[in-house]
Amino acid sequence: MSSKNSSTPVESTSGDSVKSSDALARWTAAARKSAPGGNLQALNWNTPDGITVKPLYTAADIADLPMIDSLPGFAPYLRGPQATMYAVRPWTIRQYAGFSTAEESNAFYRKALAAGGQGVSVAFDLATHRGYDSDHPRVTGDVGKAGVAIDSVEDMKILFDGIPLDQMSVSMTMNGAVIPILAFFIVAGEEQGVDRKLLDGTIQNDILKEFMVRNTYIYPPEPSMKIIGDIIEYTARNMPKFNSISISGYHMQEAGANQALELAFTLADGKEYVKTAIASGLDVDDFAGRLSFFWAIGMNFYLEVAKMRAARLLWCRIMKGFDAKNPKSLMLRTHCQTSGWSLTEQDPYNNVVRTTIEAMAAVFGGTQSLHTNALDEAIALPTEFSARIARNTQLIIQEETHITNVIDPWAGSYMMEKLTQDMADAAWKIIEEVQAMGGMVKAVDSGWAKLKIEAAAADKQARIDSGQDVIVGVNKYRLDSHDAVEARDIDNVAVREGQIRRLKTIRAGRDAKAVDAALAALSAAGSEGSGNLLDLSIKAMRVRATVGEVSDALEKAFGRHRADTHKVSGVYAASYDTGSESGDAMKQWDAIKADIALFAEQQGRRPRVMVAKLGQDGHDRGAKVVATAFADLGYDVDIGPLFQTPEECARQAIENDVHAVGVSTLAAGHKTLVPAIIAELRKQGGGEIVVFVGGVVPRQDYDFLMQSGVKGIYGPGTPIPDSAADVLKQIRASLTA
């Protein structure tokens, strides 16, 4: 029996030594015989990130890589932040959820924890995100939609009733109203008998990302950064187990960013937050160990694993630039969530497979906690049934596969090590570009970062609509009919009425003078730049100030941010043209353009549409992509400002003399807000204007919307050329009616 020496070449089945000098040349010759047209370059995958992924990698690809021999738990943490990773402690299984009321959400959390969940992750409704109490007139369609309504400490206490906050890690996705929400949490802990030093979890607290993509901001960038600094300072001094910020790339990818953009912008945001904390007087090692990150994990499997490994490498490099000494300051720790954007309404059970693959990428990438999306989240909040499948996906990976036994199993892979370096290089190039602009605050303020993401989103949608990127069940292997999927329906009116009743009770039973004094102190501190705003908010919450009152007090000092609305041009058309996989797709494109030109000739002007976002739903990826694509086809396109009321939207549509208004919805407010815009158009004399709806709309709501007067509904996966053609048809019909 012979032994193998590590220096001895491994023999292939053909007898060619893998390490022999001419082996690669022989492979190249053999591969050319089956490559399209004999061109090996045709087998390369040129990613949107600017990275070329080859069909074959060899030892030569990693020969000069500097970190190839690194180990987990040691700088630069390429292979993971802990020495033993999942071999000792698997990642934390979280369920991100918020179901309209604190009572209903609490019931879900308790069931999830009993069934194997290991942490609580809270989704808030958009009224809360934007700092409005549930009785505010601007949030009639938002209360209890897409998350839980939290107006006061009393709501927060109900939310965590029976969940011991000294034993349970709690993650809260909150950015705009981060001061009152974190104050609620701390006071709820106090009144549960838990010292703030024992509170464990994470507050997202990442406002720069909000200005780029998600838009649940309240105040302008400068005072928003002051808030972040105050939270980092307070938690560093008083809450040693609590992560003061979760620097989030997730929403960037959901908004259309490729992996390199997500990685670069997120790390650049993190760099800005570190600078802010240092400027507030903290030593970097006093707080950096409690910073965490949050990645989206999509369907580009290899790229997602490489992104997470590259992220740890680059963050270590960035923190060494701040002269951090503590190893914990150098290591990037992260939560991950499988992609919501990759979920499809069509053939929805495919989403179970997608989520599983994405969860595997997160695990192989070395995440510290993970949320897996449910199969029905393309159309609504998950049901208990779908949430159980999503949670069990993680439990099966943890308990049945033995994946956890090996630390960073991709280490040493020719492909993965090279791809990790390529991803790091691509992201670092963008980070250097941001740095040359003066940092991420300036890149965000200028609108440059937002436009980069929007261009990537338009490019991605064009690749899907043209058939270049395959989505099974959407643009390939489509079913003739679709299985009905039960979708959770929230009675927004009933939820809002319940919240208003509780608010009235709280206001009637509190010391009004104490509340007024606490709010005045907040306003003064904001205006003067003195004191810690979180500390002052905690004092306000103890006397039962509300989320809206604290937000208003700070708005008196800071003002409320209003974003400029822009759209990219030409990106969708260029990508559609170059990426079209069939002549039929281009024929359709050209036919629609010709029809729009004919309309302009006949009517004396081009068809004009207004793309609108109503209520507090700031998720504008779909709206921006549709606006860009419609404009590239020849429509005149107006984009309404974010957070319009139906009355404001109707007024703008009539003043701009549009033919149609397209309402983009992702936050389940359509049953309230869409009938309201139709009623307002009629009231203001614009009843002839066509109203169409796009975005996340459960099929069970289609009849309701059509009966309300909607002329077209274009759900997730609808090719934009199809919707553009149908809108033109509806406009023509309205003009001849």
Q: Is 375 exposed, middle or buried, given 0-12, 13-18 or 19+ CB atoms closer than 10 A? A: buried
Task: For 296, list phi and psi in degrees, rounded to 5.
Answer: -85, 145
Catalytic hit among 251, 371, 418, 450? 251
Q: Is 36 left (phi over 0), alpha (psi -120 to 50) or beta?
A: beta
Using an 8 Å Cβ cutoff, are 486 and 383 in contact?
Answer: yes
Residue that the structure tokens 């309309």 belong to: 599
Count the Cβ atoms, other than its own, within 10 Å of residue 54.
Answer: 16
Instruction: Extract the runs of DSSP E, i.e. beta strands, from 548-628.
Output: 608-612
Using an 8 Å Cβ cutoff, are 704 and 674 in contact?
Answer: no
The answer to whether residue 572 is catalytic is no
Tokens read off for 460? 């991605």
Specify the pairing of strand 52-53 against strand 45-46: antiparallel
Which residues are CB-contacts of 448 (< 8 A; sequence separation ≥ 6)?
437
Catalytic hit among 450, 460, 619, 670? 619
Catalytic hit among 86, 96, 217, 302? 96
DSSP 8-state symbol, 567: -
Using an 8 Å Cβ cutoff, are 142 and 619 in contact?
Answer: no
Distance of CA 415 to the CA centre of its chain: 28
Q: What angle do CA 546, 551, 556 make, to 5 degrees?
A: 130
- What are the distances in angstroms from CA 387 to CA 41, 97, 361? 43, 9, 20
Tokens read off for 158? 């109900």
- What are the distances in angstroms from CA 224 to CA 183, 215, 249, 318, 533? 16, 13, 18, 23, 11
Beta bridge partners of 292: 246
Specify the pairing of strand 636-639 against strand 690-695: unpaired
Q: Is 529 exposed, middle or buried, given 0-12, 13-18 or 19+ CB atoms closer than 10 A? A: exposed
Catalytic hit among 613, 659, 670, 711? 613
Catalytic hit among 250, 273, 576, 714? 250
Task: Give just the sign of the alpha carbon dihedral 59, 65, 66, 67.
Answer: negative
Using an 8 Å Cβ cutoff, are 565 and 701 in contact?
Answer: no
Catalytic hit among 408, 465, 469, 617? 617
Tokens read off for 516? 């007024």
The answer to whether residue 307 is catalytic is no
3-state secondary structure of 330: helix
The answer to whether residue 96 is catalytic is yes
DSSP 8-state symbol, 61: G
DSSP 8-state symbol, 210: I
Residues assigned a catalytic role: 96, 250-251, 613, 617, 619
